[in-house]
Amino acid sequence: MLLYIHGRLQQIKRSDTMHIFGNVGILAVGDFYQIQPMQKISGIINNSDPKKPYHPPLKVVLATRSDRIFYKKGTTDKEMMYVALCDTTGHLKATLYEPSKLDNITNGSTIIIRNYMVRDDKTIAITSQSQIFKSSQLQVPENLLSQAISSVRPPPPPPIPIKEVHTSPVKTLTSVSGVIAQDELPRQVHVRGEPVPVRTILLEDREAKVKVALWRNESGAQIQAGDFVSIQNVMVQNYKGENQLSSTSRTTIKKTERPAEDISEEIIAYIEDENDMIHLLLASNEMLSTNIELLKTTFNIEDDNWQPVLEAFIPFKANMTVKEGEITRINIQSVANMDNP
């Protein structure tokens, strides 16, 4: 409708200076403000020339944003972030050089961006000269929204056993879980002349160990030796011929409960305590605990004279389910001396 009115007024301007519509007089004294058409993401991807000094305003949904990334420009501390944008025609990634521009705008909001720059790779840069306005809601397909989010916050790679880290290609992202066996104090190292905090932990599972370097913000993670942690989006690096892991800007560290594990081990000795708990020594020198009733059930012992029976079986291999160092299930796999039982 506004375009129609604008067109009619242009006709009036070209014909006479005054036209009468009933009792209403319209004086054409100049060109009215022409409504600027909005840019579409498909237009940026397919048609926009990065060399153009000006691009039409872009109306999009703010799908998500990255964490803030801190860097230095000369001697000045700077920050930036990546944002994912989408409309009904596509999605793209933008670099935002003033993250504070989004302080009052939530993910999922519809915004209009003015004075942005189009780059050669068909992403855009939102600079200090750019303006971001809130606008009426734009409905976009769910698949485009999901694709946009994945471009900035891709799902973390699936976790792998620690032993696989040592054979993984360098520079690949991965995720691991394990117990912190060793935790060093953070220290300062110089990266491109800038002091950067780093903290090294030794992570282990039942089969292997690996060093993990936690850089910058991750060096202050609230974890300690003995914690079971899940670490996502760490990069495989090689240092002095040994594969290690290093945190990235997308790394997340979460302290979790140790999951139950199914293991097969040889039991070579035992000791009991005053709380009716039995501590079994494994051939690997690890010690696991269980209660007397579970052992009696395993060996079909009906009275309290269980010690001679257990000693007759030792050493023996067993399949066990273990959680937090306690055996919750045990099945005898084989007995070294079959004559004893």
CATH number at residue 240: 2.40.50.140
278 and 246 within one domain: no
**How sure is the predictor about 336, in pLDDT bands with cuts at 50, 70 and 90?**
low
209 with 203: CB under 8 angstroms? yes
Task: Look at 34-48, 260-274, 277-291 and tell me which has the smallest mean pLDDT.
Answer: 34-48
193 and 245 within one domain: yes
Q: What are phi and psi of 292, to 5 degrees?
A: -60, -40
146 and 78 within one domain: yes
48 and 142 within one domain: yes
Q: Which of 66, 46, 68 is nearest to 118 (CA)?
A: 46
Task: Look at 9-18, 130-139, 178-187 and tell me which has the smallest mean pLDDT.
Answer: 9-18
pLDDT at 341: 45
* Final residue belonging to a domain, choices 102, 132, 152: 152
Write the pLDDT tens digit of every residue in 214-265: 999 899 999 999 999 999 999 999 999 999 999 998 899 999 988 888 888 9
* Final residue belonging to a domain, choices 105, 130, 152: 152
248 and 193 within one domain: yes
Q: How many CA atoms lie within 13 A of 213 on its CB side?
A: 19
Mean pLDDT of all residues in 22-28: 46
The answer to whether position 14 is within a domain reads no
269 and 248 within one domain: no
Tell me the CATH number at 314: 2.40.50.70
Task: Look over the chain and give the mean of its residue pLDDT values, rounded to a whole number.
Answer: 86
The answer to whether position 305 is within a domain reads yes
Alpha carbon distance 176, 231 (integer Å): 5
Number of domains in the chain: 3
Alpha carbon distances (Å) from 339 to 221, 282, 330: 54, 22, 21
Is the model more confident about 339 or about 73?
73
- Give the three-state DSSP class for 122: coil
Domain span at residue 148 reads 41-152
* Final residue belonging to a domain, choices 203, 224, 255: 255
249 and 265 within one domain: no
Please check the confidence at residue 87 and state whether its pLDDT lies above 90: yes
For the chain, how big is the Rg over CA atoms in Å?
A: 33
Alpha helices in 134-243 (DSSP H): 142-152, 162-165
The answer to whether position 250 is within a domain reads yes
pLDDT at 234: 96
The secondary structure of residue 170, as a DSSP letter, is T
pLDDT at 18: 45
Tokens of 28: 């054409």
226 with 180: CB under 8 angstroms? yes
94 with 103: CB under 8 angstroms? no
The answer to whether position 12 is within a domain reads no
Task: Look at 2-11, 22-31, 48-57, 214-223 and tell me which has the smallest mean pLDDT.
Answer: 22-31
Name the range with the highest mean pLDDT among 21-35, 36-50, 89-103, 320-334: 89-103
Task: Look at 25-34, 49-58, 89-98 and tell me which has the smallest mean pLDDT.
Answer: 25-34
Alpha carbon distance 140, 119 (integer Å): 24
Mean pLDDT of all residues in 117-124: 91
CB-count exposure of residue 262 (10 Å: 0-12, 13-18, 19+): exposed
Q: What percent of the chain has pLDDT over 70?
A: 87
Mean pLDDT of all residues in 140-163: 93
Tokens of 336: 């070294």
Question: What is the pTM assigned to this prediction?
Answer: 0.66
